[in-house]
Structure 1
Amino acid sequence: MGFVKEFKDFAVKGNVIDLAVGVIIGGAFNKITSSLVNDVVMPPIGMLLGKVDFTNLFITLGSEEYNTLAEAKDAGAATINYGVFINNIIQFLITALVIFIVIRQINRMKRKEEQASTQPTNKECPYCITTIPLKATKCPNCTADINTGM
């Protein structure tokens, strides 16, 4: 009975929903970064390197030669697709950079919240030594006027 209750608590408290949303957003983000790498980043790099299309950089493991990776795949040839691998490395680096920036910003916001929550909200009455609100100008215990500069 404890396992079922624990699973129900896990599923109902939003952990599963948060995980599902994260996976869905991650899939969409993957499509965006793939497009960024393949359609925006790699074409200028290919032009700078002499009009090289990285997706067509491959080595055929047989004796036949093919002009494009698509031709080699259609023929059923075994290939080492190092151009696609380079695209995937660049895509990974961009994804890692974006995730790093997002996590960094989240950590900065958390630190600001922690600093704000550690600010004192009370002070001590100099006359009766009781704790009073920071904004108090008169002690509710001894009725002394408190200097607001404290």
Structure 2
Amino acid sequence: MLEEFKEFAMRGNVIDLAVGVIIGAAFGKIVTSLVEDVIMPPLGLLLGGLDFSDFFVTLRGDGEYPTLAAARAAGAVTLNYGVFITIVIQFLIVAFAIFMVVKQINRLKREQPKPPEAPREEVVLLGEIRDALKAGPSRS
């Protein structure tokens, strides 16, 4: 059983999957930072200084809360649609990046037209025999 597991774990597909998961996790952190630290602050400024992460609706709690953190600290139940908007933007960026990578891989994989192959030796020999038969008997 240990030998079977070793054979399974050392297959190329399993290793490729592990590398993909690790790189994907790192890429996810980069995209999260890009959205939260680079894209959302200017977008919030364009919308009048709003912070998307503080877009929420209080479903149960006593009073108005200035921020989502304050509502959570007070134990209020909230519907956090601003966080959802941020995550959707992150998803769109990741999906676009993956689309671009797959598009490039597909472009590289497209088969290039192969140059015509030289005829095999047997085909050349058969062609010579055919031509000799068409020419008729030769006089030597």
Provide Cα deviations, 1:47-66, integer angstroms capped at 9, x if missing partner. 11111100111111124211
Bigger Rg over Cα: 2
Provide the C-alpha distance between the structure 1 equivalents of 2:74 and 2:115, rounded to a whole number of angstroms. 70
Provide Cα deviations, 1:87-114, integer angstroms capped at 9, x if missing partner. 0000000100000000000000000xx2
Provide Cα deviations, 1:24-49, integer angstroms capped at 9, x if missing partner. 10100100110111111111111111
Aligned counterpart, 1:10:
8
In the superposition, the TM-score normalised over structure 1's length comes to 0.73
Provide the C-alpha distance between the structure 2 equivalents of 1:129 and 1:66, rounded to a whole number of angstroms. 86
Q: Pick the aligned partner of 1:35 from 29, 33, 36.
A: 33
2:80 is the counterpart of 1:105: no
More contact order relative to length (CA 8 Å, sep ≥ 6): 2
Provide the C-alpha distance between the structure 2 equivalents of 1:71 and 1:104, rounded to a whole number of angstroms. 44
Moved over 4 A (4+): none
RMSD of Structure 2 on Structure 1 (CA): 2.3
Aligned counterpart, 1:135:
none
Return 5+ residue gaps in structure 2 as ranges: 129-140
Return 5+ residue gaps in structure 1 as ranges: 132-140, 142-150
Aligned counterpart, 2:124:
130
The alignment partner of 1:79 has SS state of strand
Q: Percent identity?
A: 59
Whose helix proportion is higher, 1 or 2? 2
2:117 is the counterpart of 1:121: yes
- Number of aligned residue pairs: 124
